[in-house]
Amino acid sequence: MAQTNVNIRMDDGLKQEFDWLCTELGLNMTTAFNVFARAVVRNRRIPFEIALDFPNAETIAAIDEVRQAKKNPNKKLYSNFAELLKEVESDV
On the CB side of 71, how many CA atoms lie within 13 Å of its CA?
A: 6
**How far, in Å, CA of 2 to CA of 17, rounded?**
30
For residue 18, the number of C-alpha atoms closer than 13 Å in the C-beta half-sphere is 12
Per the structure, the count of domains in the chain is 2
Residues 1 and 43 in one domain: yes
Query: DSSP 3-state assignment of 18?
Result: helix
Say what the pLDDT of residue 2 is.
94
Query: What is the structure's pLDDT at 90?
Result: 87
pLDDT digits (tens, 9 = 90+) for 42-89: 999 999 888 878 889 999 999 998 898 889 888 888 889 999 899 888
Which residues span the domain enclosing 13?
Answer: 1-50
CATH number at residue 24: 1.10.1220
Task: Say what the pTM is.
Answer: 0.54
Same domain, 26 and 45: yes
Phi, psi of 85 (to 5 degrees): -60, -40
Taking only the tens place, the pLDDT of each residue in 19-31 is: 999 999 999 999 9
Please tell me whether residues 42 and 64 are part of one structural domain. Answer: no
Verify that 32 and 7 share a domain, yes or no.
Answer: yes
Residues 3 and 38 placed together within one structural domain of the fold: yes
- Contact (CB, 8 A) for 83 and 89: no
pLDDT at 1: 82
